[in-house]
Structure formats: structure tokens, C-alpha cells
Amino acid sequence: MRRLARHGYKAYLVGGCVRDLLVGRRPKDFDVATSATPNEVKALFRNCRIIGRRFRLAHVFFGPKIIETSTFRANPREDEDADAPDLLIRRDNVFGTEEEDAVRRDFTINGLFYDVEKEEVIDHVAGLADLEAGLVRTIGDPDVRFREDPVRMLRAIKFAARLDFKIEPATYAALLRQRLEIRKCAAPRVVEEVYRLVRGGAARRSMELLAETGLLEILAPHLAALYEGPVQEEPADGADELDDGLDDEEMAWHRVWADDRSSRARRIPLRLSFLGDPAELLRRRKLAWATLDHFDHLVSSGHDVSNALAVCTLIAPFLADTIVAPATRPGDANQAILEIGQPIVDQLRIARRDAERMRYILFALRKVAAARARNLPLDASSGRDSLEDAVQLAALLAGAQGGAVVRSRGGDGDEGDDDDDADGGEPGSSEEPRKRRRRRRGGRRRHGQVTSLDATPAPTSGP
């Protein structure tokens, strides 16, 4: 920032890092906004790379750290009619002033700049007042903002859940009106934002808000069926607290959606061979919410979990008892995993690598259960990170059920994901790999059965 200033450019800390510092949280990274164009930033820093086509910006590298440096931008659709049939922003490279850059951002709490030299916050969008009030509010017309980039609806839920804020009533009403727009977004952006929701330390509250707004049903109907239908729990106290402050139109939208939610259980199909009993589904649903509480505690304590473990945490409570039962054969366990997991993989378009790892984590719960039944420590350093994830998942489920925590030989199961790469991959272990037992020619496969979440052969005796 000082180098940019020395060459005559403005430069501020911007966005999430300023917001987090003001609310007393530790920022995960620091972003810079500047009047310099990406090419001008690159000319000043040899350790710089320009990325993106839809939104060109500069990444300045300092060892393992990346400083994301964006140029002040103006809204590319500022002069367009808000009633136009399509407001989706596909390119965002119209440069502007710092005031225009602040106004074009998504939420007021993200539109704050910090001047390092003067040590002052620059607020062009009344973001400080919303931070003080604990509100997530869009900058400008919320309907237009959500139509320009529907992923902002997921971000609104993320900030409300993670910061324990409320979504401002007009913003909430617009989210309900525009929720179907999320289907226009590229699948990789959507699933990445879903991962951030679950891995952000507020998975339970995020899932509650996704269900409450109907976004969960749009993104993953199968997952919505698991969490909110066909057995409908009693609404929580204070479910209508957002009615306060709504005008007549917003009140009408909120009431219509509340009535719609009450009948949604009859519209979301859930056909699982092992969850036919409504009482059993309700029991596992309560276990799922409790497991999310334990998962949030794990993330908040500093553990970096993989994408696959995050998704497994959402679905494991509904099938763990089935797949680890002594009477369940390996093929039947794999079929149960497919019944739960495959629709979610298809609907969220989860990458093949994460889908395969999900399958191994869930199937490895059988190995963890067998070790626990014989009161034996489980060696999770066997070369597969998915086995260590399974140990951690079993510990989360045991904690949700009030049972003992499963531990591996290396220590607490909480320490199993430290070596994962950013994409949830499975780098090889530094330990000497075990010799693989040679399979008998022909095997004992069951013919005519789907084998895995990603069309790879199913395990028959463990991952």
C-alpha cells in the first residue's frame, strides 16, 4: 500500500478484513483496493500475477500470502433499467472512483475502506451504523443487487450466520422474491459458497437460514427433504421476529412464504429404503442438528476441515446407524451411501474428487465402528486422509449422541485434516505406505449394482 501511495495511487484496506477488525474477529486475509489498474500494479510488483476475465484483479505474492489487489470499479449496469429481464453481471471491468467502488459492493458492512496512513475508516455507504446495529443490508435496491449476482443471497446468509447478525427486513424480503435467480449462477461458484457456509464456523445457523428462505430446496431438494420434510418439527420461538419493521408489501411476502413453508413437507419427496419410519427420520434429524453444533465447535477451535468432510457431516447422521450395523453387509452399506449421497452430489454438482472422498469417509465409518466395538485404537496414519476424516466424523457423531470420542493412535481425532490441500485432495502420507493385499481374481462383486458416487468400484472390506 505504501509503494502504491509513493507512485501516486490511492490504496486502502477494503471489505471483509475491515469488517472483521471492527467487530473484533481475526481476518483470514487482507484485500486492497486501489486507483491503479491491474497492469499498473503488475508494473510496480515483480511478484504479481493478473487473474480473471469476468473480474480482472492482481494477486501480489509475499511468500505463502496472497494480497488480492482490485482496482476501483463503477457499477457496469448503473444506467440500466431495474425492470430489465436480465441484470446478471457477466463482466465487471468498468473502472471508477473510490466512491463508485464502495457503492457497487454487495453489503454495507463490506463497503468500508481503511486508510493505513491516516488510521481512519472511510464509510461511503453507512456501513458503520449497520455494523453497530448487527444488520446485513444490501447497498442500493436489494432486488437489483440479487439479480445482478444471485450468489449474494448465499453471502447474505453467510454473514448473518457467521457474525450472528440479522438480515435487514427489506433485504430479507427481496431474497425471498429473487431466490429462484440462484439457478442462473455457475455451479462451481455456488458449490464453493456452500462449502464456505458449512466450513465457516456457523454451519447450523447457515442451514437454518437456507431452509427458512427456501434456498436449500432450490439448491439441493434431496438435502432439504432430509432436514425439513416429510416430518415437520415445531417452529422455533421467535421465527417471525423479522415481521417487525416490514412494510405492507414486505409483510405480504413474508407471510406468503411462511404459509408456503408449512406445506413444503408434502412437496419434497424423500424415498429412502432405510428411513421409512417418520419417528426414525425425526430422531436422525435431531442428531443431524446436534452434529452440526459439534462441527461448528471443531471449526471454531481452529481445525481446517476438507470439503468432503463438511458435506459428510451434513448427511452422515441420516445413515451412520444403518451402515455400521453388524447386520449390514458391505454392499448394502454402499447402497445406503448412494441413496443419500448421489442425489446431493448431482444437485450441487460436487467435484468428482470430493465425491470420491465423501464415499470413502462414509464407508470407513464401518472400520471405525469395528475398532470402537473391540476398544482398540485406530491407526489413522495409513496413507488415506479420508480415514482420518472418518475418525473425526465418528467423533462428531459420538459427541452429538453423548458418547465417548473416538481417538486415533496419533492423538485426538480433531487433528486429522491439517495436511489437506485447498481443494480437499488427499496428498500422500509421509509414513511408509502399507503393502496392499492382492485381490482374488474375479472378486466377490454383486452384479448389476451401482458402485459409487463417482462410478469407481465400491469398497468391499473398507476404503
Contact 60, 72 (CB under 8 A): no
State whether residue 219 is helix, strand or coil: helix
Alpha helix locations (H) across 324-455? 330-348, 352-373, 385-400
Q: Is 379 a catalytic residue?
A: no
Tell me how far CA of residue 228 lies from CA of 176, 219, 298, 449, 453, in angstroms: 18, 14, 25, 30, 24
Residues 6+ positions from 325 with CB-CB distance below 8 Å: none
| Annotated active-site residue in 29, 164, 260, 304 | 29
* Residue 230: cis peptide before it, omega within 30 degrees of 0: yes
Whole-angstrom distance, CA of residue 331 vs CA of residue 434? 25
CA-wise closest residue to 389 among 354, 441, 439: 354
Whole-angstrom distance, CA of residue 68 vs CA of residue 87? 26
Q: Is 29 a catalytic residue?
A: yes
| Annotated active-site residue in 92, 101, 106, 143 | 106
Whole-angstrom distance, CA of residue 294 vs CA of residue 183? 31
Q: Is 421 a catalytic residue?
A: no
Task: Assign residue 80 a region (left: φ > 0; alpha: ψ between -120 and 50; beta: otherwise).
Answer: beta
Burial of 289 (0-12, 13-18, 19+ CB in 10 A): middle
The partner residues of 167 in beta bridges, in order of sequence, read 136
| Annotated active-site residue in 31, 130, 385, 420 | 31
Whole-angstrom distance, CA of residue 150 vs CA of residue 184? 8
Q: Which residues are catalytic?
A: 29, 31, 106
